[in-house]
Every structure is written in C-alpha cells, then in structure tokens.
Chain A
C-alpha cells in the first residue's frame, strides 16, 4: 500500500504539486486537499428494520426464540388477564412485570389489506408489489406481510396462515420473523 493509498483510506487525499509558488513569479492556484466520501456504506444497524433478537439485545427474546422453534406466542398478564401484542415486559393495563408467554393461533382471517406498489423502504426495495394486511387471530389483531398473494385475488375474511421467515443479513445470531399466506 502506498502512502497515497493510505491517505485515501483515511478519507483524505493530498493533491499533487504540493507547494504554493513563492518565487514572485506567476502565481499558481494553491493546490487543494480533498475529502473522499464513500459511494456506498454498509446498511447501518439502525436502518435494519428487524430487531436484534437475542437475550443480549432485547428482553422479549423469548418471543423470537419461540418463533424460531415454530410457535407464535405473545405475552399474557397473570395479574389482570390481558393478552398483549406486540409482546411486552410490562403489562400496559396493570404494570405487572410478571408476564408469561402464551400461544397464539397460527391461522386467522384478513381484516383488511392493500398492496404496496410504490417505492419501499431500505432493505425492501426489491419487494414491491407486496401485500400488507391486518390479520384477525381472535385474541389479537396484528399487521403483517401477506406472502404468495396479490391484491386482486384477496377478499376481506379470507383465511391466512402463519409463515416463518429466516432473516438473512448482518447479525451474529439467527433471526426470524412472521408473515402470513393464504391457506
């Protein structure tokens, strides 16, 4: 690696030439240093829509652990009986922090849906068109991607079932997320 390469790596490139003319002769424009900005940067952690899911990063890791094992769960409050979604560490109804995980149905009905046809967010730019909807599971209603379906083929009330996705990408643990698909 040359010295110049090293400078570029540090983000500073020195222009050739070096010194301002000081001999009283024809005055050259002073050489300029430049700053180089990378054309692309790796997707920063904070622009990754998927949460880090291990016990070192989130206290609802049990939700993700269960999902990884194939079951869709959420928190329930033994004190007041509330079933939450998303899962919590404090019950919003009574502020108990003694919550346990309970199974949710893996099938439900489409309460509403649409199709994203415009530009999508970072990390999803190749996905449109895709269907997003609200799924009624009985105990809870939640928003979700509906895979393997097009807007024109769906109707309110259609049955949909859970689908577990593996998230490929820069995390040092295996990540998963839920979607639904017509059944």
Chain B
C-alpha cells in the first residue's frame, strides 16, 4: 500500500442495557473519540464510516452515516458510507477507512460503530426476529435458528469430532468474563469461574447462558490518519494497520456448510493479513488478539483457524492457558464479546481501540498484556461463519 495508516485514538460509551437512543449512543462515542485525540477536530474529518447493522429494525432509522455527521458536526468532503456486514460491520468500516487513506484519497477518517439492541424485555421476540433474519430468512430463519442455536451446533460437532469438553468451553467464558470484570465500560463486570459457567442454564445445549455474549447497546469510535498526519500530530501512541484480509464462502446459510467444525475463511483472511504484515508465526509475532468470541466455541475454533493451535486442538489450547494474558498470545484482554457484550456494529471498532490502548498501556494493570505489546490482531466473523475479517496492527509503521 502506498500510504501507511494509523489509529491515533478513540473513545466509546458505556456498554449494556442503556437508557439511551441510537442517536444518544452515537453522540457519546463521537464526543469521547474527539476528546481522546489532540489535534483533530470535527472539521478535519474527510471521511466518515459508520458500522451499523440494523438501525432500521432496532431504532427505526436508516441513512445513518449522514445522521452521525449531523450529530457530531462533521462536514464530510471526501467519502461517507455506512457499512453493514452483520457482526463484522465495525471491522468493515475500519477496512474502508484504511483503504481510502492508504489509496491517498484522504488523510483523516472517523470510524464509528453504533448499535442499539435493547428495546425493552417485552419486545424480545422482535429482537430475536432481527437476529434470526441474518441468515437466509426463507430457509434458515424460518426454522427459528438464531445465534445461540446456530453456534450450539458448531459446539456439538466440535465436541463430537475432536473431543472438546464442556469444561474447555467454560474456560473460555471464565477467562474473558474475568477480564471484563476489569473493564469499566463492559456489560458484564462480575468475576465468574468455570463452575459458574457450567452451572448456568443450557439455553441452547450444549451452550449455556454464560457461553453466550449479550444483547448490548453501545458505540465506539476511532480516528484513522495517514502516516504524514500522524507525524504532524506527533501522536504519542499509534496503532498502524499492517494487514487486512477478508474471505467469504459462497454462502450465507447453514444449508450445505461444508464443515461445522472449521472456518476455512478465517484461515484465509488471516493468512492474507499475515502476509501483508510480514507475520510468519502468529503465535510469536502477535502479542494481543481481539477475536470474535460471540460464543465460547467461536474462540476455540478461531485459535485453530488463526494459526494459534492445530485443527481440533483449540480446546486443549485454552486448557493449557496459552491464550491467557501471560500465555503465548493474550486473547481478548478487554473481555471479548462474552464479557463486554456485542453491540453488533460497534464490536470491531472497540476491538481496534482495545489494541490501541494496550499499545498505549492505557488499561488497568489487571488486564494489561505484559511485556509492552507492540503487535495486535482483530478478528470478526459474521453470519453463519461464512465470512471472516482479520486486521493486524502494530505500534510502529512498517
């Protein structure tokens, strides 16, 4: 790429069941983002990319990128778009911003991910309908197949084919939720142990309630700039995008998925990103990984596909503590989706912000990755797991 691109800061809202509208969340995160970065004001923003999955359904609002421009007083003179790629919408927005700056089309971009999902408990069927139509509504959603019941079947097959255990699934949840207990914006801030997870209600067996991420209101923003702009800002901490890969199989459905234990697209997307970043061994070359643990089983399959563990060995990888803060690669130090919740469009943006903050040493000690982390990764899956997005980040430009 002709131009290096760096994240120079960001901010976010509190995540959870918020007494706030979609527009409130966008404003809170936008204000926090500009507050965090010295030297960039709304009038400096040339590109605006808004990750948002279902504002039409949850907030009865479309055309949301210009709405964000209005709310934050951003006159966008180069490029504006909303990105929708289900649970990977935030990373899709980051990727658009990165490409636009790398191509020399602009120097400063605001990426904001926003999702309002809680619409009062009495409307839970509406919320479930929204999630159910992420797959093929006519042939999957119609069967009542939602997030937990979809990923439960991956867990069941992984256990069946590889001997992965309930305890190993629970270890992922316990690790991430304990990290989230130290994260001030997280939806779930309670310490839990493996037994707590195993004792929770099997909402979609073999998955239990604590194997699942939440239904979350939240927003997060970051500012991306060209290397020249970063130097001009004299930014104290930078997180340079060193690689970005995406892969999507010709499928959006559970019908005819070739495998329900692997996600080859995660492997392809990560290899693409690693090659761009010059990463040969992800286990030694990546210090901090923010991966898409929408369910505990997801993180186990991701260990395997992202090159941390051999196929089928993801369960053993967590059992051996290799994804802990002091392990071979620190996975989900902010608490992941399991701990922070999963406001769909905001998740990828928040993952990138977490990597930036880890580089800056700007997180509580209890969840700071030891040894001065310099390289990071964010990963999102979307839909049936047919699409995977991976971005690598480094404190210094390549």
The reply to whether the CB of B374 lies closer than 8 angstroms to some CB of chain A is no
* Interface members, chain A 109-130 (any B CB < 8 Å): 111-122, 124-125, 127, 130
Please indicate which of the listed interface residues B142, B160, B253, B256 has the most CB atoms of chain A within 10 Å of its own CB: B142
Interface flags for B128-149 (1: CB within 8 Å of A; 0: not) read 1100110011111111111011
A119 partner residues in chain B, CB cutoff 8 A: 124-125, 127-128
Binds A, one of B7-15, B200-208, B389-397: B200-208
Q: How large is the interface on A (under 10, 10 to 19, 20 to 34, 35 or more residues)?
A: 35 or more
Tell whether, in the assembled complex, residue B142 and residue A177 are in contact, meaning their CB atoms are under 8 Å apart: yes
The reply to whether the CB of B260 lies closer than 8 angstroms to some CB of chain A is yes
The reply to whether the CB of B257 lies closer than 8 angstroms to some CB of chain A is yes
* Interface residues of B, count at CB 8 A: 41
Tell whether, in the assembled complex, residue B203 and residue A121 are in contact, meaning their CB atoms are under 8 Å apart: no
Tell whether, in the assembled complex, residue B129 and residue A117 are in contact, meaning their CB atoms are under 8 Å apart: no
The reply to whether the CB of A9 lies closer than 8 angstroms to some CB of chain B is no
* Interface members, chain B 64-90 (any A CB < 8 Å): none
- Could you tell me the distance in whole angstroms from the C-beta of A169 to the nearest C-beta in chain B? 13
In the assembled complex, the Cα of A116 lies from the Cα of B256 at a distance in Å of 21
A171 partner residues in chain B, CB cutoff 8 A: none
Cβ contact of A142, chosen from B125, B157, B204, B256, cutoff 8 A: B256
B99 partner residues in chain A, CB cutoff 8 A: none
Binds B, one of A27-35, A47-55, A98-106: A47-55
B128 partner residues in chain A, CB cutoff 8 A: 118-122
Interface flags for A135-156 (1: CB within 8 Å of B; 0: not) read 0000011111100000100001
The reply to whether the CB of A182 lies closer than 8 angstroms to some CB of chain B is no
In the assembled complex, the Cα of A115 lies from the Cα of B152 at a distance in Å of 9
Tell whether, in the assembled complex, residue B146 and residue A114 are in contact, meaning their CB atoms are under 8 Å apart: no
B145 partner residues in chain A, CB cutoff 8 A: 132, 143
In the assembled complex, the Cα of A120 lies from the Cα of B132 at a distance in Å of 9
- Could you tell me the distance in whole angstroms from the C-beta of A109 to the nearest C-beta in chain B? 13
B257 partner residues in chain A, CB cutoff 8 A: 134, 141
- Given A86-B138, A125-B125, are A156 and B160 neighbors across the interface (CB < 8 Å)? yes
The reply to whether the CB of B234 lies closer than 8 angstroms to some CB of chain A is no
Known: A86-B139, A141-B255. 6 other contacts (CB 8 A): A114-B204, A120-B125, A120-B144, A122-B126, A133-B153, A142-B256
Q: List 24 A-B contacts (CB under 8 A).
A: A49-B129, A49-B141, A49-B142, A51-B138, A85-B255, A85-B256, A112-B260, A113-B153, A115-B204, A115-B205, A116-B146, A116-B204, A118-B203, A119-B124, A120-B125, A122-B129, A124-B125, A132-B144, A132-B149, A133-B153, A134-B260, A143-B145, A143-B254, A156-B160
Binding site for B on A (CB under 8 A): 47, 49-51, 85-86, 92, 111-122, 124-125, 127, 130, 132-134, 140-145, 151, 156, 177
